[in-house]
Amino acid sequence: MPRLVMKFGGTSVANIERIRNVALHVKREVDAGYDVAVVVSAMAGKTNELVGWCKEASPNYDNREYDSIVASGEQVTAGLLALTLQNMGINARSWLGWQIPVMTSDDHGSARISAIDGTGILAGFSERKEVAVVAGFQGIHQPTNRITTLGRGGSDTSAVGLAAAIKAERCDIYTDVDGVYTTDPRIVSKASRLDRVSFEEMLEMASLGAKVLQVRSVELAMLYKVPTYVRSSFDDPANPQLGTLICNEEDIVEHQVVTGIAYSKDEAQITLRQVADKPGIAASIFVPLSEANINVDMIIQVVSADTKTTDMTFTVPSADFERAKAVLMKHRDAIEFKDVQGTTDVVKISAIGIGMRSHAGVAAKAFKALAEKGINIRAITTSEIKFSLLIDAPYTELAVRTLHSLYGLDKE
């Protein structure tokens, strides 16, 4: 029989009524002849509650115990869904990450999957016609025998990884939206749902601010070529919409130049003034930041007229803004800068599309259009299929709407 992995996020399993609705979606696929594995998140708000308890118990908590605590949210959901399915006459059992097992690194709180053994789940399919209800977001580091978690959104990664492990026909990610849109519909009312998006485009969208899927889940889907749908659990289980298919580029017949516009408010800009312009200075800035696990994105260097000093501007996640400045001040003597300045009142706007590979001047059109709207661009980065612009936060919605219209993405 064909195999299917279905994943349901926190809002989809927020209460018993919603869990019953999820069970109806699962029953539909079972009745259609699929062997089904269901991956579930914790009920909406539960993980935040558990994290809060960790912090209340011990501000400097042990990450290993943190993982043990926060992983319990998914355990509750998996058990409740299994019970609900059983009550509908469907044979089902719950699985925790360590029972499968989902083997991971020992980076507690942000572990990476190293392998998944789907033998037990496959045996349940063939021997007992059993739906596997899997607690997402969690695994085990076998050398230490400790529970691990995969980071926020990790249930997406659990689902795609499991789909690859059991060679599922596809992986359906159910959430509170009915697919991937050209941009945030809350900002642009004319945003439209995309029927298909390439793995590469979705990877860029996820990393640049689109919250639909966790980045690592898209990486896994692309690596193992797992066709992945983004669908809505709020659709009628008897008549659901297909959603958006994330697939190989060659499976998309026609490409637009720009597929979507993403934005990220999680940005901070830091500028080092009058840095000594000599070999090794860039390393003296960015190596300490890397060692502090602070990701640096956009980088601009401007050489002064005397050619002896330079101004260095770059971006970091806004949550790391103060910590990044502290790291830089600690290494001030080695870097030799005069002053450090910065702001968190910035936003990164990005345009993504495989069609950019074969079209020149795509970014230049954006520069002109934003200039006409009086929007100043602080920094620019480009790649083969995207460009990103750093702008002042108050202009976010205007910039997104402008670019969405500019590239013909408005729904007629």
Detail the DSSP E strand segments found in 83-209.
92-95, 102-104, 113-116, 131-135, 138-141, 146-149, 170-175, 196-198
**SS3 state of residue 72:** helix
10 dihedral zone (left: phi>0; alpha: psi -120 to 50; beta): alpha
Cα–Cα dist 280/277, whole Å: 9
| DSSP strand pairing (3-8 vs 35-40) | parallel
Q: Which helix (H) or strand (E) holds 70?
A: helix 63-70
The pLDDT profile of the chain, 412 residues, written as one tens digit per residue, is 899 999 999 999 999 999 999 999 999 999 999 999 999 999 999 999 999 999 999 988 999 999 999 999 999 999 999 999 999 999 999 999 999 999 999 999 999 999 999 999 999 999 999 999 999 999 999 999 999 999 888 999 999 999 999 999 999 999 988 999 999 998 999 999 999 999 999 999 988 877 788 889 999 999 999 999 999 999 999 999 989 999 998 888 777 889 999 999 989 999 999 888 888 888 999 999 999 989 998 888 877 666 788 888 999 999 899 999 999 999 988 888 888 999 999 999 999 999 888 888 899 999 999 999 999 999 998 888 999 999 999 999 999 999 999 999 997 6
3-state SS of the chain: helix, strand, coil percent to 5?
Answer: 40, 25, 35
Its pTM stands at 0.87
Closest listed residue to residue 138, CA positions, set 55, 222, 41: 41
Q: Record the tokens describing residue 140, joined without a space.
A: 């085990």
Q: Record the tokens describing residue 258, joined without a space.
A: 């720009």
User: Is the bond leading into 2 cis (omega within 30 degrees of zero)?
Assistant: no
Domains of the chain: 3-176 (3.40.1160.10), 268-343 (3.30.70.260)
Closest listed residue to residue 36, CA positions, set 159, 117, 125, 154: 125
